[in-house]
Structures are given as structure tokens and as C-alpha cells.
Amino acid sequence: MSATIKTPEEQDKMREAGRLAAQVLDMIGPYVEPGVTTDELNTICHNYMVDELGTTPAPLNYNGFPKSVCTSINHVVCHGIPGDKKLKKGDAVNIDVTLIKDGFHGDSSRMYFAGEPSIKAKRLSDVAEKAMYIGIDQVKPGATLGDIGAAIQKYVESERCSVVREYCGHGIGRGFHEEPQVLHYGKPGSGMTLEAGMTFTIEPMVNAGKRHVKMLPDGWTVVTKDHSLSAQWEHTILVTETGVEILTPSQLVTA
């Protein structure tokens, strides 16, 4: 298993792809409301990526995936296919965007709510988001992938939630999915040692119930086995000489 080390020029292209992916997620937020279908959200994202940003939606036709983004609602863990299902008041939905700009991929996802979420859904989203940042905080040259996974697992389980193990973060660059695999559980000091110039995603999937999942017959949609809520946040990051840089930061100004 070997990770590609990005040159300074390649790092700049990754920054641009990441910035644009985050821009899509900033744009789509106001459209997430009760009554909208996930296919409508997909169309808005697709047209923005292609017509406004001049980018290519990476998921579209990737291994047969039929849409331009993933939309995962409530107990859907990941890879939900946009369709004619209308969001109901209180629904939680993860929107996962990956786009290609000048041959490089930017990949990020966030949680959104259609109207006012339940306390449980909001708390789970907050845990997943904090878990992602705790993982990011471990990143620096000389650290290991196990340090990331262990820190995420320790925090999530301390909040009485569980970490999905079947799906993980991944290296990214010219390829959508490159080495290494970035597990969101593990032991400190284990796994690949991080080097400056690596780029990969950290994207913990956190369940309110047990960690076990199953795939639906469509071959893509992954759900919690116990039907408990699931939440996920994702950033693409760069290992720098001194630590870490988030390549997919939101540009929204929060009060």
C-alpha cells in the first residue's frame, strides 16, 4: 500500500478542486427543506457543478452510479441514490459531493436538515462533525493512520454512539479513490506513517445505535441494520510539513 505524494503544483490543483466542492455544499444548503426531492437536489448540484463551476461530477456513472451526488437520509449511512422521495420535516440528509477540476478530485460531505431536526438527529450530526475534526487534529508528518482512527473511535464511543467499519476515508487526487484506506477506528501508532504531500479524506460515519450496516438491493444504498439514525461529515485534507490543511473549507460566514 503506497500513497501518492502530491507536488506543490498538484497540491494547488487539489486546493482548487476542494474549494469548488465546498462551494457546492455552501450553495445547496438553502434548498434543503421539506417537500424537495433528493433528485431535485441532485439536479441543482449537477447544473451548478457543470454550468457554473465548469467541473465534472465524479460520482456520475462511476462504477454505474446513476447520479451526480449522494443523498443519504436518516438511517441511510452512505451512497444514497437521489430519487423522487420528498424530504419530510425534520429529516436529516447527508449530501456528498465529489467533483473533478483540471484532472483532480475534491470530495466533501455535510449534514443538512429539512426544517427543525429532532434533538437526537442534531446531537448525532454534532458528534459526527466533531469526530471528523478530532481525526483531522491527529494529522501531521510522522503520525499514523491508526492515530486518526483511534481518536475518532474513542470520542464517538464515549458519546455512546458507534463507528461504521465497512466504509472508510481514502486517498484522493487524480483518482477518486486512491491509497491509503483511512479507517475511522483502530489503534494508536498502527498503520501507514503520514508524510507531507499526502491527500486523503476523513469521513466518519457515526450511528446512534449499533455499528452494523447492510446494503440494499440497489447495490449502492447502505443502511443501519437496526434502523437507527446515521450521520457523516467529510473533508479532504493535505498533510503539510507542519501539520494539516483542510482543502474543502466552507466559505459561509457563521455568526
pLDDT of residue 2: 81
Q: Is the pLDDT of residue 63 over 90?
A: yes
Please give the pLDDT value at position 254: 62
Evaluate if residue 255 carries a pLDDT over 50: no
pLDDT at 13 over 50: yes
Q: Is the pLDDT of residue 166 over 90?
A: yes
Query: From CA 245, how far away is CA 253, in angstroms rounded?
Result: 19
Summarize pLDDT for 207-248 with one digit per residue, the tens: 999 999 999 999 999 999 999 999 999 999 999 999 999 999
Whether 1 shows a pLDDT value over 70: the answer reads no
